[in-house]
Structure 1
């Protein structure tokens, strides 16, 4: 691999900035200053820029505990992107596998592996997505059966896939009763969960994704924190 390409793939430098760094004598290979951008590297050579060792960025698989107020996008928008929470190089290579609304929290998976991401999000795979839902009022009778049968949502031409609903015991929070449920769906339509509960005459107050397939949000991750997936988690998709 050419030295300038190695620099651009292992740092935030572009190819043109990498060449300028070389020209300034900032790059060493095996302890020797190299200024030639076309210098050929092999796998055993030690490359340092400004004294810091460099290594190629491999394929990354990350788990993030998403806070509210962030968009699941890599492009600038009205809200900051979740990738801004990641302290990693080459963030422009990453994409979000299975997005969440700006006001939804919880598990977000981020990678640069397009095939892995496709397996995760493809409707044909019917990957279970688990959510904790906070509702404005108690659930109507028979909600479980209606969701299991599939709902016809407004402006849709086919019903939702069967979903699993689990009612949770009401809790008291700030002297108000909190109504919560767990919902498992296999799709990702626009605002789907909010629209599903609206069809049941209810309103989603808060939404938190806990799990995708066999990958469970790490309970040790505080809001806004992330970690790399384990090999077992990666292989589960």
Structure 2
């Protein structure tokens, strides 16, 4: 963690005031005065402000049920930010682990733990995301089987040179499917169905890793310790198998 971020997370100082303290030589790390705000520090380091040890506040992990017409941003844009309905202190310290488009609904995870969100979002960790997809054209069982095979094999999206990683398709109704992917490319789900001659008219994320959405639209809650640990600790088994399939 950057030193300036550590100071903000362990005091009531805003970023500007934290930078001023660091530049003034008021912060020491392991008994050494540090004046460079970008210095990387660890929570096990002895970090002091004018001789008083600083201890960071506990990390926060939040589940939010995103509604359509909102943006995954810390501030309002063309659409209102999902943070507008989040009643927490120091919301500016939070970030979104895996964004959704303005018209996409469902599970959004918010945290101030950078390592946790890295585990969720980095492609190498193959964290599975499950989407409920509504299609413009109905699928018969045979057609769904063909698309399922193509998605498992990986398809080349327009404008890209590397095929998608294996994805799993489950037919629910002729116009509704579940799609599990382990990547987060730009508009990936919509582009995948476009590549097989269909169009997404509704998109809803139900699950990320081991965390399932279980609250109503517009609501939010803190994650439980078990949810945090499971997602933090394991690289989703299905995602790991997907990478192995690609190598065969």
TM-score of the pair, normalised by structure 2 = 0.69
Alignment partner, residue 124 of structure 2: 124
**Superposition pairs for residues 161-200 of structure 1, below 5 Å?**
161-170=165-174, 179-200=175-196
Say whether the 8 Å CA contact 2:95–2:112 is kept in structure 1.
yes
Alignment partner, residue 95 of structure 2: 95
* Helix, strand or coil at the partner of 2:217: coil
Say whether the 8 Å CA contact 2:168–2:179 is kept in structure 1.
yes
Alignment partner, residue 154 of structure 1: 158
* CA separation of 1:42 and 1:125: change in aligned 2, threshold 3 A: closer
* CA separation of 1:7 and 1:161: change in aligned 2, threshold 3 A: closer
For residues 7-40 of structure 1, the C-alpha deviation after alignment (integer angstroms, 9 at most, x for no partner) is 447xxxx869xxxxxxxxxxxxxxxxxxxxx999
Q: Could you tell which deviates more after superposition, 66-75 or 99-108?
A: 66-75
Matched, 1:69 2:65: no
Say whether the 8 Å CA contact 1:7–1:15 is kept in structure 2.
no
* CA separation of 1:124 and 1:7: change in aligned 2, threshold 3 A: closer
Alignment partner, residue 26 of structure 2: none
For residues 116-137 of structure 1, the C-alpha deviation after alignment (integer angstroms, 9 at most, x for no partner) is 1001101001011001000001
Matched, 1:229 2:223: yes
Q: Report how many residues are paired.
A: 188
| Aligned equivalents of 2:108, 2:189: Cα separation in 1 | 16
| Aligned equivalents of 1:154, 1:62: Cα separation in 2 | 35
The structure whose residues are more often helix, as a share, is: 2
Say whether the 8 Å CA contact 2:105–2:204 is kept in structure 1.
yes
Say whether the 8 Å CA contact 1:214–1:233 is kept in structure 2.
yes
* Helix, strand or coil at the partner of 2:125: coil
Q: 1:202 aligns with which of 190, 198, 215?
A: 198
Alignment partner, residue 80 of structure 1: 80
Say whether the 8 Å CA contact 2:64–2:219 is kept in structure 1.
yes
Higher-Rg structure is: 1
* Helix, strand or coil at the partner of 2:120: helix
* Helix, strand or coil at the partner of 2:160: coil
| Aligned equivalents of 2:153, 2:105: Cα separation in 1 | 27
Alignment partner, residue 239 of structure 2: none
Matched, 1:114 2:114: yes
For residues 165-188 of structure 1, the C-alpha deviation after alignment (integer angstroms, 9 at most, x for no partner) is 000134xxxxxxxx1000000000
**Gap regions ≥5 residues in structure 2:** 1-6, 19-48, 232-248
* Helix, strand or coil at the partner of 2:173: coil
* CA separation of 1:116 and 1:165: change in aligned 2, threshold 3 A: same
TM-score of the pair, normalised by structure 1 = 0.73
